[in-house]
Amino acid sequence: TEKNVELEREKIANIDNIYSDPQLCATYICDIYEHLRKSEEKKRPSTDFMERIQKDINVSMRAILIDWLVEVAEEYRLVPDTLYLTVNYIDRYLSGNAVNRQRLQLLGVSCMMISSKYEEICAPQVEEFCYITDNTYLKEEVLKMESAVLNYLKFEMTAPTIKCFLRRFVRAAAHDVELPSLQLECL
């Protein structure tokens, strides 16, 4: 086909020609990644929300929040995508809503609750997310923040994470080498 000819000319190995394994989605893969690139653009937070939107919080507070969420993800053994989605939701929410420092952690756990519902097979309960904040927030507050986030993000919770792309890049880069994808899973 056209694609094959082009790849051959450029001396690039075709990694999308394994039709025998349905898990690899060989016939869809180009459409899938094209859509992922578009969707990445659409679901990207703004780059200057800290200066433009936020009044009470700053970059280092956000960094502290994210570091803490990494620990929460480890504590509850959440998969990497849950963490990546959490950060995506937080930043998208902060791109349009001013949040004060007392409620930044509330936003963090609420976003993590949403992403674990989306991604995990057994998501932690809302009580567990309250507990991990040392019960700084009530269950009702977490649920209310959850609604606020869902409404603001218009339920657009499906977003490509770095892992979606990394898996493909590693496959392309390691085409000639038998590199087990297990190493990637440990990320």
Partner 1 sequence: MYSVTRLLVSHSSKFEFEQALTRSQLETLKENRFTSYVLARANIFRCKRDDDYFAIKIMSIPNEEQRDNVMKEISVLKTLNHTNVVGLVDSMINGDDVFAVFEYPDSNLQAYMKNSELFLYQCKNRFLYQILSGIAHLHSRRILHKDLRPDKILVYMKSSITMRIAEYNNGKAYDVPLDCFYSENIGFPSYRAPELLFGNNYSTANDVWSVGCIFAEMHLRRPLFSAGTDLELLNEMFSLLGTPTEEIWPGKTSFLGSIAALEPPKQPKELRSVFPELEPAGVDILSVSYFHNFLLCLLHWSSVYCISVQLNFND
Query: Per rule CB under 8 A, is residue 17 in the interface with partner 1?
Result: no
- Taking the least distance from each CB to partner 1, the nearer of 104 and 149 is 149
Q: At a CB cut-off of 8 Å and minimum separation 6, what does 26 contact?
A: 16, 17, 18, 19
Interface positions, 48-107, toward partner 1 (CB under 8 A): 81
Q: Which of 17, 46, 102, 125 binds partner 1 (CB under 8 A)?
A: 125
Query: Per rule CB under 8 A, is residue 25 in the interface with partner 1?
Result: yes
Interface positions, 131-170, toward partner 1 (CB under 8 A): 147, 150-151, 154-158, 163-164, 167-168
For 135, the 3-state DSSP assignment is: coil
Query: Per rule CB under 8 A, is residue 29 in the interface with partner 1?
Result: yes
Q: CA-to-CA distance for 65 and 82, rounded, in angstroms?
A: 15
Within 76-100, residue ranges assigned H as helices are: 80-94
- Between the alpha carbon of residue 174 and those of residues 14, 155, 159, 166, 180, the distances in Å are 12, 36, 26, 12, 9
Applying CB under 8 A, the residues found at the interface with partner 1 are 19-29, 31-32, 35-36, 39, 81, 114, 117-119, 123, 125-126, 147, 150-151, 154-158, 163-164, 167-168, 181
